[in-house]
Amino acid sequence: MNRPAAPTLDGLTRRRYHYWAGASGRSYIHGAFTPGERPHFASAALVLIARDAGRQSVVDIAATGDLPELYFNGRAYARALRCGVSEVHVHLADDAAAARRAAADIAAALAPGTDAEPARISLAGEAA
């Protein structure tokens, strides 16, 4: 489940930050970026979003390790961009293992048949 963070007086928080809930019940706050902003952070859990007619679809869930370029220069990210990704939600984790756990937890919460069902999940943080 995805929900926007509470708005601030300037209205930026609702647009730029989202919580994604994991199957464990834990919430993970994510910063929202466009692909053009190149959100290449190490040790991050990523949720890649496409929007069509107001409907949100999760295209990919991934985790980056020490070298985020392995994901962002890889086939999985290129495939996500071809699927119309317009937002990259980024959760910064303590290390690569924590990023993989967060991504797996979020992926597990997105049960088949939901509106936010991921088309593909890449947890290795490698060029898949």
pLDDT of residue 128: 39
Residue with tokens 């679809």: 57
| Mean pLDDT of the region 115-122 | 48
- CA 63 centroid distance within chain: 8
The pLDDT tens digits of the residues spanning 44-58 come to 999 999 988 878 899
pLDDT of residue 41: 92
Judge whether residue 31 has pLDDT over 50. yes
| Rounded Cα–Cα distance for residues 109 and 23 (Å) | 4
- Of 104 and 7, the one with more pLDDT: 104
pLDDT of residue 37: 87
Domain boundaries, the chain: 2-122
- Of 14 and 34, the one with more pLDDT: 34
Q: In this structure, are residues 34 and 88 in contact, taking their beta carbons and an 8 Å threshold? A: yes
Q: CA triplet 84, 63, 77: central angle to 5 degrees? A: 30
Q: In this structure, are residues 88 and 64 in contact, taking their beta carbons and an 8 Å threshold? A: no
Nearest C-alpha neighbor of 67 from the set 34, 44, 101: 44
